[in-house]
Amino acid sequence: MATSSADATRRASFLLLLRRIGLFSMYVVLASTPLVLALIGPHPPGRGFWLDVSFALGLVGLAMLGLQFLSVARINRVDAPYGIDAVMRYHRQIAFVATAFIALHPLVLVLAESSYWDLVNPLKSPKRVQWGQAALLMLVFLVVVSVLRLRWKLNYEIWRVTHGILALLITSFALVHVRSVGVYVQRGTWKPAVFTAFSLVFLSLLAWVRVLKPLARMRRPFVVDQVRPEPGGVVTLRLRATRGRGLRFRAGQFSWITLDSVFVPNEHPFSIASSAARPEEVEFTIKELGDFTRQLGGVIEGSRAYLDGPFGNFGVGWESAGQLLLVAGGIGVTPCMSILRTMADTSDPRPVTLIYGSNDWETIVFRDELEELRRRFDLKVIHVLARGHEGWDGDVGFINLDILRRGLPDDLSGVQCYVCGPPPMMAAVEHALFEAGVPPRQVHSELFTFV
Amino acid sequence: MRSQTLTFRVVALTTIALVLAVLIFAAIQN
């Protein structure tokens, strides 16, 4: 059994690698499309190496801005190879590269050809240049605000709406700039039309995320069936499908929740904590961390709720693993609970160990239920407390290599490890698992906060 | 591989690929 599941894991990792390379290549091809379009068909002769580098930087930068809409469109088929949390992180990191390309475009231009200095002053520059200058200014503003929004404690909803509007304005201004300058998108050829068509595809992604997907969600409404306080400032929301078959998901996935209306910007991602065998009744257990989560305790039973999901790769391969090791820190236990509850519901015979780090005995979320689950199937729970108490003879401190070894079988080939919790804990646990000899492809993790 | 490391590597690879695309474009044109 261990060998066949190890083979299945190897095959799955190879296929995953191919899909990841495919998605990466698609990004590079789409970002370079304006350059290919510039070169095919009628095009002006070269204007000097560095001037053309400058034009190319601007065109690629613009395509990357368009692709930013794709990376937040939450299209499962697109995001799956990396996981939506990695795609969101990519969206943030590649934004710096796109901004650098766009900022380098005028810089290289004036360095390569001194006559372009006359166009630098936005008060005196022609309109076709002003569009680009305004786009660049807004882009820098957007990036700075996005980077500092947590430090400045900006309201998430206001930031999100502003971010969307600015992104739309920046892309539109940059498009007008490229079309009115017209170096490689010459008027009188087919190129402006192709350029506009490409732009419309990317801009329509925004309409897809903000209008079409919410409308589709309205056909699958849920009602808040129960609001249940849990230990340690945590609350569980149980949502029941009022129409349709509910939310079909794999244990370990997450979903975006919107309360009351599908069109409010108040939308947040949370791990699903309930059993995948019960799609009509979906539970989220949420710790009060930010503005939205603080409001959740006050949600009234009977309110309407909408779900956009499921997303995420966290639980990938758990169904075919020979043995499971789940490692959770604090509220990161929720996707693990989903796996455990699903196993209990489906009478799964495989052995599982949950190593669960909490602050103290009183704040262990699902403590009683874990006891009950232990009686229903082959589950071993190792609690690790940051602060022990008198009479506590279990583990105290952080989850370390010694504790992890107790959860690992002698033969590591069939074990799959799932780690979820605060980033420093995940980094330490992953490192320790590698040290224990678990191959990296058998260690799965999901960063818990990525918005 | 850790998810953060993976993202960072993909971002770095994308940057290299696109810088190359820009340079190749300018070289073809000139």
Provide long-range contacts, Cβ within 8 A and 24+ apart, for A437-440.
A437/A412, A438/A408, A438/A412, A439/A412, A440/B1
Residue B30 is nearest to which of A31, A48, A93, comparing CB atoms?
A48
The residue behind tokens 């960072």 is B8
pLDDT attached to residue A396: 93
A426 CB neighbours in chain B (<8 A) are 2
pLDDT interval class at A289 (50, 70, 90)? low
B16 to chain A, minimum CA–CA distance in Å? Answer: 10
A38 CB neighbours in chain B (<8 A) are 25
- The residue of A93, A311, A433, A449 whose CB has the most chain B CBs within 10 angstroms, and thus the best one to mutate to test that interface, is A93
B7 CB neighbours in chain A (<8 A) are 82, 86, 89-90, 93
pLDDT interval class at A23 (50, 70, 90)? very high
CB A359 within 8 A of CB A388: no
Tell me the three state secondary structure of residue A383. strand
Residue A132 pLDDT exceeds 70: yes
Residue A102 pLDDT exceeds 70: yes
Bond before A310 cis per omega within 30 degrees: yes
Q: Across all residues in chain A, what is the average pLDDT?
A: 88
Question: With an 8 Å Cβ cutoff, is B12 touching chain A?
Answer: no
| Residues whose CB is less than 8 angstroms from the CB of residue A100 and which lie 6 or more positions away in sequence, other chains included | none
CB A446 within 8 A of CB A355: no
Residue A341 pLDDT exceeds 90: yes
Residue B30 is nearest to which of A52, A86, A427, comparing CB atoms?
A52
CA A443/CA A424 separation, integer angstroms = 16
pLDDT attached to residue A312: 80
| Residues whose CB is less than 8 angstroms from the CB of residue A201 and which lie 6 or more positions away in sequence, other chains included | none
Tell me the three state secondary structure of residue A138. helix
| Residues whose CB is less than 8 angstroms from the CB of residue A121 and which lie 6 or more positions away in sequence, other chains included | none
Q: What does residue A437 show for φ and ψ, rounded to 5 degrees?
A: 100, 10
Angle between helices A127-148 and A156-181 (to 10 degrees): 160
pLDDT interval class at A298 (50, 70, 90)? low
Residue A204 pLDDT exceeds 60: yes
Name the DSSP letter for residue A303.
Answer: -
Question: With an 8 Å Cβ cutoff, is B20 touching chain A?
Answer: no
pLDDT attached to residue A202: 78
- What is the average pLDDT across A309-335? 86
A371 to chain B, minimum CA–CA distance in Å? Answer: 31
In total, the C-beta contacts within 8 angstroms joining chain A to chain B are 83
pLDDT attached to residue A160: 86
Name the DSSP letter for residue A395.
Answer: E
CB A363 within 8 A of CB A231: yes
Question: With an 8 Å Cβ cutoff, is B5 touching chain A?
Answer: no
Strands of A281-287's sheet, edge to edge?
A267-271, A254-259, A304-311, A222-230, A234-241, A281-287
Give pLDDT tens digits for A248-285. 999 989 998 888 776 666 778 889 999 999 999 999 99
CA A163/CA A178 separation, integer angstroms = 22
Strands of A379-385's sheet, edge to edge?
A395-396, A379-385, A352-358, A323-329, A415-421, A443-447
A295 to chain B, minimum CA–CA distance in Å? Answer: 30
- What is the average pLDDT across A165-184? 91
CB A85 within 8 A of CB A450: yes
Picking from A71, A75, A67, A27, the residue whose alpha carbon sits closest to that of residue A212 is A75
Which DSSP string do the residues of A320-382 spell out, in sequence order?
G-SEEEEEEEGGGHHHHHHHHHHHHHTT--S-EEEEEEESSGGG-TTHHHHHHHHHHSSEEEE
A97 CB neighbours in chain B (<8 A) are 11, 14-15, 18
How many residues comprise chain A? 451
- What's the pTM? 0.79
CB A191 within 8 A of CB A184: yes
Q: Taking CB atoms and an 8 Å limit, are B11 and A31 in contact across chains?
A: no
CB A164 within 8 A of CB A180: no
Question: With an 8 Å Cβ cutoff, is A42 touching chain B?
Answer: no
The residue behind tokens 């939450």 is A74
Question: With an 8 Å Cβ cutoff, is B27 touching chain A?
Answer: yes
A35 CB neighbours in chain B (<8 A) are 21-22, 25
Q: Taking CB atoms and an 8 Å limit, are B7 and A27 in contact across chains?
A: no
How many residues comprise chain B? 30
Residue A450 pLDDT exceeds 50: no
Residue A95 pLDDT exceeds 50: yes
B23 to chain A, minimum CA–CA distance in Å? Answer: 6
- What is the average pLDDT across A409-429? 90
Residue A434 pLDDT exceeds 60: yes
The two beta strands, A304-311 and A254-259, are antiparallel
Give pLDDT tens digits for A10-20. 777 788 889 99
B25 CB neighbours in chain A (<8 A) are 35, 38-39, 52-53, 56
